[in-house]
């Protein structure tokens, strides 16, 4: 899924403004707090918390921010959040999945719906685009961890389903329910991963030209600017030429 991989690169592009990075830190800290509150605050006993902490570290979230987020859950003063998924279509019919954590369902629903409408999209019912994606576990490693064959063998031994290797690195996919076990097995063979998380992997994609990509980026940026939105996934596909122009 070249489009998905490129979109991942866009999501983590370097040189983002400090304000945007601060918002990202806040969202990752929220995920840590929720994970710690729902399960055991010990990362070794709570797979979801372990993944949340690992993802935060991969995004350079300071250690004290991570520890504060866990203590917030232990202290019992953390807000109660509902995890809600929204689905819809963006410009040119691109499928969009929006994952949120909110303490006010009405506010979030209204904001997400309005953002879709203002940016050439349409919010649909749950399941309206979900069938175009598979829920998967995703583990990424930098290219220097080894060549494609080395990573492929490690992935097979760990019980993974698929590996995508490029000059930029390696992306390993597995069943969502097996992510913790697979990531632990990979860590023993390849060392600590760059990222470990659950993702929506597109099974079908929508080809976009430059204008379509620009419109889609406007929608995604507006959605991600909402504090209640944790992550946005789309199923776009774009040529290398379009990506370079973008």
Check: CB of residue 78 under 8 Å from CB of residue 38: no
Q: What is the distance between the alpha carbons of residues 238 and 189, in angstroms, rounded to a whole number?
A: 34
Provide the CB-side half-sphere exposure for 167 (13 A, CA).
Answer: 0
Whole-model pTM: value is 0.83
Residue 15 CB contacts under 8 Å (≥ 6 apart), including other chains: none
- Beta-strand (E) ranges in 104-181? 122-124, 133-142, 162-166, 169-175
Q: What is the pLDDT of residue 14?
A: 46
Q: What is the distance between the alpha carbons of residues 19 and 183, in angstroms, rounded to a whole number?
A: 31
The 8 Å CB, 24+ separation contacts for 48-51 are 50/180, 51/179, 51/180, 51/183, 51/196, 51/197, 51/198
pLDDT tens-digit profile, the chain (246 residues): 345 555 555 555 544 456 677 888 888 989 899 888 887 888 888 888 888 888 888 888 889 999 988 988 887 666 788 899 999 999 999 999 999 999 999 999 999 999 999 999 999 998 899 999 999 999 999 999 999 999 999 999 999 999 999 988 999 999 999 998 999 999 999 998 888 889 999 999 999 888 989 999 999 999 999 999 999 999 998 877 877 877
Check: CB of residue 192 under 8 Å from CB of residue 153: no
In the chain, what are the domains?
2-74 (1.10.10.200), 82-123+205-245 (3.30.70.980), 132-202 (3.30.70.980)
Q: pLDDT tens, 180-196? A: 899 999 999 999 888 88
Please count the residues of the chain: 246
Question: What 3-state DSSP class applies to 78?
Answer: coil
Q: What is the pLDDT of residue 110?
A: 96
Residue 80 CB contacts under 8 Å (≥ 6 apart), including other chains: 103
Q: pLDDT tens, 216-229? A: 999 999 999 999 99
With the C-alpha atoms ordered 76, 79, 84, 90, is the resulting torsion angle positive or negative? negative
Q: What is the pLDDT of residue 237?
A: 87
């Amino acid at each position: 899924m070249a489009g998905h991989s490129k979109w991942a690169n866009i999501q983590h592009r370097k040189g983002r403004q400090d304000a945007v990075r601060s918002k990202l830190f806040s969202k990752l800290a929220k995920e840590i707090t929720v994970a710690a509150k729902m399960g055991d605050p010990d990362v070794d006993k709570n797979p979801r918390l372990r993944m949340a902490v690992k993802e935060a570290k991969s995004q350079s979230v300071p250690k004290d921010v991570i520890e504060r987020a866990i203590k917030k859950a232990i202290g019992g003063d953390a807000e109660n959040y509902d995890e809600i998924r929204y689905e819809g279509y963006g410009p040119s019919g691109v499928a969009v999945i929006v994952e949120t954590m909110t303490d006010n369902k009405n506010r979030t629903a209204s904001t997400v719906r309005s953002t879709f409408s203002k940016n050439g999209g349409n919010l649909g019912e749950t399941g309206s685009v979900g069938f175009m994606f598979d829920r998967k576990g995703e583990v990424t490693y930098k290219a220097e961890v080894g060549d494609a064959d080395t990573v492929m063998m490690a992935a097979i031994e760990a019980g993974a389903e698929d590996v995508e290797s490029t000059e930029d690195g390696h992306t390993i996919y597995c069943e969502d329910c097996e992510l913790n076990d697979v990531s632990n097995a990979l860590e023993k063979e390849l060392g600590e991963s760059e990222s470990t998380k659950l993702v929506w992997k597109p099974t079908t994609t929508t080809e976009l030209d430059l204008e379509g990509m620009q419109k889609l980026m406007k929608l995604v940026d507006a959605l991600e600017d909402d504090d209640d939105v944790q992550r946005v996934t789309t199923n776009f596909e774009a040529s290398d030429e379009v990506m370079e122009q973008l």
